[in-house]
């Protein structure tokens, strides 16, 4: 029997329907749905079947020195027994196994994990690999017809990442949490990627808080041409730092009602079409539409699995020569929204796409692969699908052409001016409105022509602090610094929010985050800087290319971590003292009814959580909280205790958050129940 193993059940069904021409027999392979046709069976996994961990003897945080984790044995633990049982059934009669998981690091490792399970029971089984970038009929059929070898080096690079992240994350998290005496739900999470990423946000926040605004003045005026047309001008000195100087300039201009046009300059400016989407540029474009990186990737995966867009995890910004661009444009030629533009493109003798600087061979840039409609997709799906389609068509389009005009005036020797722009040729902007700018039209005037002052104003302004980093901007910065990968960056940012290090978007660090980064940058700088993580990322790329072995890179990472621990151990006392600031760094729940200070989520030395007052020990007001689950502070306040926000508790395995409500109301209800029980007994 020939088995085809896909990464997900939905993918398995789609591949089976394509390869069978729609005539499959659905059957069960243990608890899994499988699709049989022509002596072949397609079955889908559910992501990783195994996970890496330490032996149980290392589980007690207080009894095991975190340093021991650096060289501890790594074990592989089965986490999806029903899938393993299904793979064991595959092994019984499999003659050939085709791995058809997503073609990237994690996908290759997931496929190799499944293959190893089969080979443990059937060592003679033959195996090969389907590689595809879209779940469409032509792509899947070609991928099946041109199957290749399994890439064990690629799988090893993913396995190395898992081992390294486990060792670093566990050892560092335990050390810092134990030093800070913060265990339980409110432990300090530290990692080789997430900590330097968090440091970027904290450093930016320091810039913002340390910013000292400066006052400046601008001179704005409205002038009229001899033909009666009015337009706005500003002084050539963009910012006056001295008010007296600005007022003197204003007075000189006001003293004369007539000025002259000193020069008129026009030039044609070309605005080039955008390059194809890689994952980072796609996330940034989606961010401008209001989508967070995590939601963007979730929706993109749905569009990919439905066969509407190509694979959404890619570093490529250059279309491969094998991609039939004309045929793909033809797909949209009858579409109500894109059809007219697509037909215009098809009139071209040759479609010449734009290209970015990055060219890889694993997956093409993100592009549409089939036609979708408003009716078939949910509203968020359509918005991102439309973005992908419009971007693709824009990359095949002509440049836009603008006519820029600069007019310089002179009033009483003072230079004023205006700049206009007029769109002369829409080019790609006709299909890609996301970066379209409004035209600024100013009257046509001639050099030497008189102009007349209508009114003039002195505007007082202040310099603005740097802006916080948006989630999409943070992903771009992570890419530049070599932190994480296209597949993991949005997940890292998600974890920073989940662990109460970040809030809002653009990202704002919590007090807990600031305290942690302060401690790391002062006493364990290696963890907070990107250089070490970037080095490991490069070494993992060398595993992928067959230049380094998995074991060699893992050993390098252990050596690096030993150096980090030497720094940590030397500064243990200082780190503990520094992290005391984080004890009051939890999310703010409201205002203390006793003293008016902020209430926050505090943690006792034994790891129990409670609502505490930041004025402790002068104020001892407190309220109990549930022992487990991630606490989320809502914007709603309690109608009975308006000084407190309502809470939600998120627990693993729960489909929906638990609406915990007001902690004071919960405490009073518990107190009443306890009293009634005591009276009843």
Count other C-beta atoms under 10 Å from residue 439's C-beta.
12
CB 419 within 8 A of CB 270: no
CB 521 within 8 A of CB 199: yes
User: What would the two tokens of residue 88 be?
Assistant: 């064991």
Interacting residues of 625 by C-beta distance below 8 A, sequence separation 6+: 601, 609, 610, 611, 631, 647, 663
User: What would the two tokens of residue 286 be?
Assistant: 């989606």
CB 315 within 8 A of CB 356: no
Peptide bond into 565 cis (omega under 30): no
* Rounded CA separation 311/330 (Å): 21
* Rounded CA separation 335/373 (Å): 9
Where do we find the tokens 């967070």? 292
632: β partners: 648
Question: Strand, coil or helix: what is 225?
Answer: strand
Q: Which helix (H) or strand (E) holds 631?
A: strand 630-637
* Rounded CA separation 660/622 (Å): 17
* Rounded CA separation 198/474 (Å): 10
Count other C-beta atoms under 10 Å from residue 399's C-beta.
15
Q: Which of the following is catalytic: 311, 341, 501, 664?
A: 311
CB 612 within 8 A of CB 600: yes
User: What would the two tokens of residue 417 be?
Assistant: 């001016």
* Rounded CA separation 445/261 (Å): 8
User: What would the two tokens of residue 139 be?
Assistant: 């792509």
Question: Strand, coil or helix: what is 295?
Answer: helix
Length of the chain: 681
Interacting residues of 515 by C-beta distance below 8 A, sequence separation 6+: 578, 579, 581, 582, 585
Chain centroid, CA 388 distance in Å: 17
* Rounded CA separation 166/52 (Å): 7
Chain centroid, CA 337 distance in Å: 29
On the CB side of 434, CA atoms within 13 Å amount to 20
Where do we find the tokens 């290319």? 545
Structure letter (DSSP) for residue 602: E
Chain centroid, CA 173 distance in Å: 23
User: What would the two tokens of residue 317 be?
Assistant: 């910004």
Structure letter (DSSP) for residue 366: B
**Extended strands (E) in 367-475:** 400-411, 414-425, 450-462
Interacting residues of 547 by C-beta distance below 8 A, sequence separation 6+: none
167: β partners: none
Question: Strand, coil or helix: what is 142?
Answer: helix
Q: Is 311 a catalytic residue?
A: yes
Integer angstrom CA distances of residue 320 from 353, 387, 531: 10, 21, 32
* Rounded CA separation 97/87 (Å): 11
Catalytic residues: 311
């Amino acid at each position: 029997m020939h088995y085809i193993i896909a990464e997900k059940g939905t993918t398995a069904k789609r591949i089976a329907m394509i390869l069978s021409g729609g005539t499959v027999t659905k059957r069960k392979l243990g608890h899994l749905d499988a699709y049989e046709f022509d002596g072949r069976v397609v079955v889908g996994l559910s992501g990783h079947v195994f996970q890496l961990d330490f032996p149980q003897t290392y589980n007690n945080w207080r009894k095991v020195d975190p340093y021991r984790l650096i060289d501890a044995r790594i074990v592989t633990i089965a986490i999806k027994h029903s899938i393993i049982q299904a793979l064991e059934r595959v092994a019984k009669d499999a003659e050939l196994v085709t791995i058809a998981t997503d073609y990237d690091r994690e996908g290759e490792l997931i496929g190799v994990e499944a293959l190893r399970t089969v080979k443990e029971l059937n060592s003679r089984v033959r195996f090969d690999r389907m590689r595809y970038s879209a779940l469409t009929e032509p792509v899947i059929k070609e991928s099946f017809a041109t199957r290749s070898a399994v890439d064990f080096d690629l799988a090893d690079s993913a396995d190395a990442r898992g081992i390294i992240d486990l060792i670093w994350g566990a050892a560092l998290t335990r050390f810092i949490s134990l030093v800070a005496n913060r265990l339980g739900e409110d432990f300090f999470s530290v990692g080789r990627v997430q900590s330097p990423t968090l440091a970027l946000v904290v450093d930016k926040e320091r810039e913002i808080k340390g910013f000292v605004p400066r006052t400046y003045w601008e001179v704005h005026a409205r002038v009229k041409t001899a033909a009666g047309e009015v337009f706005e001008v500003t002084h050539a000195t963009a910012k006056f730092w001295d008010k007296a100087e600005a007022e003197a300039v204003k007075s000189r201009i006001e003293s004369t009602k007539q000025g002259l046009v000193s020069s008129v300059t026009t030039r044609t400016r070309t605005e080039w079409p955008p390059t194809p989407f890689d994952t980072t540029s796609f996330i940034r474009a989606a961010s401008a539409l209001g989508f967070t990186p995590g939601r963007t990737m979730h929706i993109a995966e749905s569009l990919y699995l439905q066969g509407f867009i190509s694979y959404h995890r890619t570093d490529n910004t250059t279309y491969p020569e094998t991609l039939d661009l004309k045929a793909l444009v033809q797909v949209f030629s009858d579409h109500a929204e894109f059809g007219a533009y697509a037909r215009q493109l098809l009139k071209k003798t040759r479609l010449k796409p734009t290209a970015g600087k990055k060219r890889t061979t694993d997956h093409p840039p993100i592009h549409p692969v089939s036609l979708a409609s408003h009716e078939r997709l949910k509203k968020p799906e359509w918005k991102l699908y439309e973005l992908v389609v419009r971007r693709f068509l824009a990359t095949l389009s002509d440049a836009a052409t603008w006519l820029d005009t600069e007019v310089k005036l002179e009033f009483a020797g003072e230079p004023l001016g205006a700049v206009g722009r007029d769109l002369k040729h829409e080019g790609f902007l006709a299909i890609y409105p996301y970066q379209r700018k409004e035209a600024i039209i100013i009257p046509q005037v001639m050099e030497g022509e008189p102009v007349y002052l209508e009114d003039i104003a002195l505007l007082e302004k202040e310099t603005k602090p740097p802006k916080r980093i948006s989630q999409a901007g943070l992903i771009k910065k992570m890419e530049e610094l070599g932190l994480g990968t296209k597949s993991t960056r949005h997940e890292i940012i998600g974890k920073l929010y989940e662990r109460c290090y970040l809030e809002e978007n653009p990202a704002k660090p919590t007090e807990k985050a600031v305290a942690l980064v302060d401690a790391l940058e002062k006493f364990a700088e290696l963890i907070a800087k990107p250089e070490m993580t970037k080095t490991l990322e490069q070494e993992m790329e060398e595993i992928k290319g067959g230049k380094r072995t998995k074991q060699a890179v893992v050993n390098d990472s252990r050596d690096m971590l030993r150096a980090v621990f030497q720094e940590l151990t030397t500064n243990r006392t200082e780190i503990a003292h520094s992290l005391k600031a984080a004890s009051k760094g939890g999310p703010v729940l409201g205002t203390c009814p006793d003293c008016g200070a902020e209430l926050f989520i505090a943690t006792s030395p034994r790891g129990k959580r409670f609502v505490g007052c930041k004025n402790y020990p002068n104020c001892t007001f407190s309220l109990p909280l549930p022992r487990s689950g991630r606490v989320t502070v809502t914007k709603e306040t309690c109608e009975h205790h308006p000084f407190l926000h309502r809470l939600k508790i998120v627990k693993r395995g729960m489909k929906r958050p638990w609406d915990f409500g007001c902690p004071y109301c919960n405490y009073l209800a518990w107190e009443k129940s306890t009293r009634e029980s005591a009276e009843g007994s």
